[in-house]
Amino acid sequence: MSKEVLIVDDEAAIREVVAAVLEDEGYVPRQAATSDEALREVARKPPALLLLDIWLEGSRMDGVQILDHVRSSNPSLPVIMFSGHGTIETAVAAIKKGALDFIEKPFKSDRLLVAVERAMELSRLRRENEELRSRAQKVELIGGSPVMGKLRATIQRVGPTGSRILISGPPGSGKEVVARMIHKQSRRADGPFVVLNCAALAPDRVDVELFGCEPGWLAPEQPRVIGLLERADGGTLLLDEVADMPLDTQGKVLRALQERSFTRPGGNNRREVDVRVLATTNRDLQAEMTAGRFREDLFYRINVVPVELPSLAEHRTDIPELARHFMTVASAESGLQPHEIADDAMAVLQTADWPGDIRQLRNTIEWMLIMAGEQKGPIGLAGLPPELTDSAARGMDPRANGEFVSMPLREAREQFERTYLQAQLQRFGGNISRTANFVGMERSALHRKLKTLGLHSDD
């Protein structure tokens, strides 16, 4: 995060004093004496914060006019106004126009630093919120397979209901993406979407993370801390990988969900919150409850509507579309030229094992893009990670499978055909016509061959 602060004041002595105070606290001060200098500095490189005097002698514009200009051209740039001739009316007018704070001259360095720190923190929270909203607007499910169509229909059906939803699926299958889509479909779409990483909850920080705390509760100079429950007020709270939540923490979360209110540590007043709760897990929560690691009452509180995500192996026909999407995303993020993926490489992608599910596929595509460098043409087999080709061909490679070398030729050929056709059926989602077209057989002949080998199209 940038710590540059642009100080705009017509008095050089004040600029130097303020710059020295900020520099001692680790900020990077920049200076301007007139409106023209200030706007030029903002255009050259927007600072993290603008400290702006209202009265600028010999300047084309005063501070309020500069504020108007900055609010229209850089609406996310935080501004603190100050003046030695200010009145309450002046301060109120500046705040109404978008300034975060107003400081009267002469001011103490402590007052200045508190105002700067608050403005920086508020600016950071605004950026995070904008980023979350941007990410929420872009989330989407990729793929036209029947299982993905069913999942989309489920999201559209449960999103607007307001019910608590438990999203289960393998690691890397996109559970948070589905949670964000549910939030986007809900009546709370304009509210915050807050993620609680249950695995990262430290036992001694649980109360503060969830409920925040009042000033001075953690340390004498510590300001008020706003917890995740309060940040999610009016929106959605995602309990990410809820099975990783410590058992004693589960009771505190359950109580807050039941009462819809809590008291900040160090305070006395109860705070009511209106939060929709979603949860994700890659574990069998029934088994976790049997083992005593998950509270049954919390399970029934969060599992009003269960949504189960398919593994990538259940919708391999979506892999080409997913791969092209991830290639586009990786190209945009890295600045590298995107590449097409050759048919032979795509066939391997569709038949390989994916223990890391969609996340692993995305990482693989990014690896392929980086390793391809400036090569011309599509990425072929040579451009795949070695472990990927190994996993795809392991069942058909005589050197990797001792079973083949101990068989007569007829049995080995039959075993190879069974393995090969089963992989192709999986690749094309059981579609006989597409499988027959790829392997070069008539549809009726393929049907007979599958029957002979004891295979069915839904294998």
Q: Is 370 helix (H, G, I), strand (E, B) or coil?
A: helix
In the numeric block, which tokens belong to residue 437? 């077209």
Give the burial class of 153: count Cβ atoms within 10 A of its Cβ; 0-12 exposed, 13-18 middle, 19 or more buried: exposed
Domain ranges of the chain: 4-131, 146-308, 312-396, 402-453
Q: What is the pLDDT of residue 132?
A: 60
Q: What is the pLDDT of residue 335?
A: 86
At the topology level, CATH places domain 146-308 in Rossmann fold (3.40.50)
Closest CA to 455 of 434, 433, 424: 424
- What distance in Å separates the CA atoms of residue 314 and residue 308, rounded to the nearest whole number? 12
Residue 337's DSSP bridge partners are none
- What distance in Å separates the CA atoms of residue 321 and residue 329, rounded to the nearest whole number? 12
- What distance in Å separates the CA atoms of residue 132 and residue 122, rounded to the nearest whole number? 15
Whether the model pTM is above 0.75: no
Q: How many other β-carbons are positioned within 10 Å of the β-carbon of residue 83?
A: 21
**Cβ partners under 8 Å of residue 57, min gap 6:** 10
Q: Is 305 helix (H, G, I), strand (E, B) or coil?
A: strand
Q: What is the pLDDT of residue 394?
A: 53
Report CA-CA distances (Å) from 425 to 186, 347, 431.
Answer: 38, 12, 7
Q: What is the CATH number of domain 4-131?
A: 3.40.50.2300
Closest CA to 66 of 92, 89, 43: 43
How many Cα atoms occupy the beta-carbon half-sphere of 405 within 13 Å? 6
**Contact (Cβ atoms closer than 8 angstroms) between residue 36 and residue 56:** no
- Cis omega before residue 106 (within 30°)? yes
49-53 vs 79-83, strand pairing mode = parallel
Q: What is the pLDDT of residue 459?
A: 40
**Which long-range contacts (C-beta less than 8 Å, at least 24 apart) are formed by 102-105?**
105/14
> Can you identify the CATH homologous superfamily of domain 402-453?
Homeodomain-like (1.10.10.60)
CATH-assigned architecture of domain 312-396: Orthogonal Bundle (1.10)
- What distance in Å separates the CA atoms of residue 298 and residue 73, rounded to the nearest whole number? 48
Closest CA to 7 of 36, 33, 39, 43: 33
- What distance in Å separates the CA atoms of residue 164 and residue 162, rounded to the nearest whole number? 7
Q: What is the pLDDT of residue 139?
A: 67
Q: What is the pLDDT of residue 279?
A: 96
* Residue 251 φ then ψ, to 5°: -65, -40
| Amino acid occupying residue 200 | A
270-272 vs 261-263, strand pairing mode = antiparallel
Q: Is 279 helix (H, G, I), strand (E, B) or coil?
A: strand
DSSP 311: P
Q: What is the pLDDT of residue 168?
A: 96
Q: Tens place of pLDDT for every residue, the chain, 459 residues?
A: 568 899 999 999 999 999 999 999 889 999 999 999 998 888 888 888 999 998 888 899 988 889 988 887 777 789 998 887 766 777 777 888 888 888 888 888 888 898 898 888 877 777 666 666 555 556 688 999 999 999 999 999 999 998 999 999 999 999 999 999 999 999 998 888 999 888 777 767 777 888 888 888 877 777 778 888 888 888 999 999 999 988 888 888 888 888 888 888 888 888 888 899 999 999 999 999 999 999 999 999 999 999 999 999 899 899 999 999 999 999 988 888 999 999 888 888 988 889 899 999 999 999 999 998 888 889 998 889 888 766 555 545 544 445 555 567 777 677 777 777 777 777 777 778 877 787 778 888 777 777 777 776 554
Q: What is the pLDDT of residue 327?
A: 94
Closest CA to 384 of 374, 400, 371: 371
| Equal CATH topology for 4-131 and 402-453 | no
**Contact (Cβ atoms closer than 8 angstroms) between residue 391 and residue 353:** yes
Residue 100's DSSP bridge partners are none
Helix axes 443-453, 432-439, angle to 10 degrees: 100
Give the burial class of 249: count Cβ atoms within 10 A of its Cβ; 0-12 exposed, 13-18 middle, 19 or more buried: middle
